Amino acid sequence: MSTPLEMQRTFALVGTGGCGKTSLAEMLLFNAGALTRMGAIEDGSTALDYEPEEVRRRGSLQPAFATWLWNKNRHFLMDIPGDGNFTGDMEYLLKGVDSVLFVLDAVDGVRPLTKKFWNIVRVEHLPAIFVINKLDRDRADFRMAFDSLSLLGVKTVALQMPIRQGDAFVGVVDVLGGKALMFTEGGVTEAEIPPELTDDVQLLHDVTVENIAESDEILMEKYLEEGSLSLDELKTGLRAGVLSGELTPVLACSAVENKGGKAILDAVETLLSSPLDRPAFTGSGGLERAPVSEGPVACFVFKTLTDPFSGQLSLLRVLSGTVSADTVLKNMRAEENERLGNLLYLTGKNQTPIKETVYPGGIIAVAKLKSTRTGDTLCDEKSPFALSAPALPPQLITYALAPKEKGEEDKVYAAIQRLLDEDITLKLARDEESGDILLSGMGQLHIELSVEKARRRYKIDIILKTPKVPYRETMRGKCQAQGRHKKQSGGRGQFGDCWIEMEGLPRGSGYIFEDAIVGGVIPRQYIPAIDKGIQEAAARGFLAGCQVVDFRAKVYDGSYHTVDSSEMAFKVAGSLAFKKAMESLKPILLEPIVLLTISIPDENMGDVIGDLSSRRGKVLGSDSQAGLTEIKAHVPMSEVLRYAPDLRSMTGGQGFFTMEFAHYEEAPQPVAEKVIAEYQKSKSVE
């Protein structure tokens, strides 16, 4: 029997790596009766981290899903990884939920990545509850973590205050209820608030009541007139404030000690939104679709997973209407019908066939859809609707891949290609200049673990190597050069002769070819061949095998033979003229410069700027706000191919960055000499 839609909850756990989200999920599952044991406590294993790479690292590398009944109401949970290497698709994932449990570490409080994640949650207009976790730790500081939330620009309401005895986390104070809840082996027992906390609790209670009252005009009037509000009025005003985004409650827990789980489950049910509470979804063309069960069906595919038994699993959020097994829907991108077949609920790697109708807000898995991929919308063919998919952030790092055994390049490419279905933040390409297979991702760890997964699944040895930096070549000055190709070996010969004028152009001008032939000294049909010969020679480079850019080539004279001339002969002549011109000019090497935008704690600013200087970087400016600094800098690409682990080391994992191509600059002489020497060495080996 399906649960009432107004009491259904679909929410995500969001927070930075190491804050204990997966342990929190384990606690919620255990308290809801969906697990019989808490692996996070007993042996460190969890129901939601099941990939071998996750078990080995003891951390989430991909989102995980779970569902349960709490007070006979259906809850859907999504556990989103917190490592910046694996959060590039967060906007896609949040399209699948109605609200968020935002988890903070009681030792560290708000980190730089916390602000980034919170901004994403705000853009999606999702109601949230903050959960301060790890209060069992020696250095746990609830007040520090609570105060650090001001960095996010939110109005917080503390619903709980932790109670400690020495180093032990023994209970919480219910701030609005005015009582202590002590943790015991049998659960939770009510008690008097410890005397040493009375004043702090009263102050917190007054601030909380004022914040709730300020979120509603009617409540504010009554509070000003009477000086107090009833508990029911506070609860009603609190939920309204949470749903509007005006208020964000704060709870306290220790997931690994199973302390605070039931209170969080109750808060999710009483404070967070149902599918009916959210605004209509906006689709392409400005169409809107209300999340109601009576409307036409629409489902959004926000994630794709690979199961060793079921194959490809598409994770769908039901946006509107109702879905059951064997429903036929139209894929709006592929314009093909898909039969959903058997529907599944996921709890970690466990799959439960769905025998009931799934309503809006439901998260379901469907196996082996023919044409569907992440970002697609499946809908009723008679009522088309396509949810607008979010933009993905740019990849930050690129590595070249090679097989351990020669001749298996195609196998490597095919193995990685299969990973792209489940990880849309990866990008696979071939470098036309070097022939390298290039894999781009959100960080070094992202690339390394993706390759490790491909090795394990598809049984192929893959070697990671630093890719060739896309240097370019250009020239200064102007010169004339002749390209003459004459070959006679019996029968018809080859003859092509051209004079060109070549000169360097400003950065970004590209390649310009001019035809200045007059009097028919070179027939018209051979002019494009000269152009092609110059372009092909420029693509092969002159100094270091890098493409030559930003120059003009003008063909102004030449000669031909009525029998021996051909397009091929003049293409060779154009190539020879280009090479002679490069010998006469002053060719230079250009290196790619990227724009780095780095977010770090204020205390790391000196180290990071010093490091940028050592990488030949030019700091463009910095902006500090509430303990966090954002630095913008131009840095040579060759200096930041492995920047992600270095920044992580400098900032203790607190910093993150984005990178985008900016422009090309002339490479310093020592750099140019090194690149040219490496090229000459590679040619001699060949």
* Eight-class DSSP state of 283: B
Q: Which of 85-89, 268-272, 500-504, 511-515 has the lowest mean pLDDT?
A: 85-89
State the residue range of the domain holding 498. 472-584
* Per-residue pLDDT, 643: 87
242 and 302 co-located in one domain: no
Q: Beta 73-79 vs 9-14: how paired, if at all? A: parallel
Residues 593, 595: Cα–Cα separation, whole Å: 7
* Per-residue pLDDT, 555: 97
Residues 302, 287: Cα–Cα separation, whole Å: 19
- Residue 212 maps to a domain: yes
Q: Is the model's pLDDT at 304 over the cut of 50?
A: yes
- Residue 439 maps to a domain: yes
517: domain CATH number is 3.30.230.10
pLDDT mean over 3-31: 92
**Token pair for 375:** 């970002």
pLDDT mean over 530-553: 94
pLDDT tens readout for residues 76-93: 999 999 988 888 999 999
Residues paired with 397 in a beta bridge: 441
More confident residue, 22 or 644: 22
- Residue 431 maps to a domain: yes
pLDDT mean over 453-459: 91
365 and 313 co-located in one domain: yes
* Eight-class DSSP state of 391: P
pLDDT band at 41 (very low <50, low <70, confident <90, very high): low
pLDDT mean over 641-646: 84
Angle at the Cα of 459 from the Cα atoms of 457 and 462, rounded to 5 degrees? 100
Which H or E run contains 680?
A: helix 669-685
416: domain CATH number is 3.30.70.870
568 and 604 co-located in one domain: no
Do the Cβ atoms of 78 and 124 come closer than 8 Å? no
Q: Could you give phi then psi for residue 540, rounded to 5 degrees?
A: -80, -15
- Residue 297 maps to a domain: yes
296 and 267 co-located in one domain: no
Angle at the Cα of 11 from the Cα atoms of 7 and 17, rounded to 5 degrees? 155
- Residue 685 maps to a domain: no
pLDDT mean over 338-361: 94
Q: Is the model's pLDDT at 121 over the cut of 90?
A: yes
Residues 246, 257: Cα–Cα separation, whole Å: 32
For tokens 């009477």, the residue is 226
* Per-residue pLDDT, 182: 96
pLDDT band at 319 (very low <50, low <70, confident <90, very high): very high
88 and 203 co-located in one domain: yes
Residues 640, 661: Cα–Cα separation, whole Å: 12
Sign of CA dihedral 302, 307, 313, 316: negative
Report H helices in 630-668: 643-651
* Eight-class DSSP state of 395: P
115 and 262 co-located in one domain: yes
pLDDT mean over 578-585: 96
Q: Which of 424, 447, 465 is the last residue of a domain?
A: 465
564 and 540 co-located in one domain: yes
- Residue 680 maps to a domain: no
Q: Is the model's pLDDT at 581 over the cut of 80?
A: yes
142 and 268 co-located in one domain: yes
Residues 34, 28: Cα–Cα separation, whole Å: 9
- Residue 609 maps to a domain: yes
* Per-residue pLDDT, 586: 87
365 and 440 co-located in one domain: no
Q: Could you give phi then psi for residue 512, rounded to 5 degrees?
A: -125, 130
pLDDT band at 42 (very low <50, low <70, confident <90, very high): low
- Residue 392 maps to a domain: no
263 and 412 co-located in one domain: no
637: domain CATH number is 3.30.70.240
pLDDT band at 645 (very low <50, low <70, confident <90, very high): confident
- Cβ burial, residue 167 (10 Å; 0-12/13-18/19+): exposed
562 and 597 co-located in one domain: no
492 and 456 co-located in one domain: no
Do the Cβ atoms of 333 and 376 come closer than 8 Å? yes
* Per-residue pLDDT, 685: 62
pLDDT band at 290 (very low <50, low <70, confident <90, very high): very high
Residues 136, 303: Cα–Cα separation, whole Å: 34
- C-alpha distance from residue 86 to each of 26, 165, 295, 681 (Å): 20, 38, 35, 38
Domain count, the chain: 5
What is residue 303's three-state secondary structure? strand
161: domain CATH number is 3.40.50.300
Q: Is the model's pLDDT at 203 over the cut of 50?
A: yes
Q: Which of 555, 584, 613 is the last residue of a domain?
A: 584
* Per-residue pLDDT, 1: 39
Q: Which of 226, 244, 276 is the last residue of a domain?
A: 276
* Per-residue pLDDT, 548: 96
Residues 451, 388: Cα–Cα separation, whole Å: 31
pLDDT mean over 151-157: 92
Q: Which of 406, 463, 404 is nearest to 439 (CA)?
A: 463
Q: What is the mean pLDDT of the chain?
A: 91
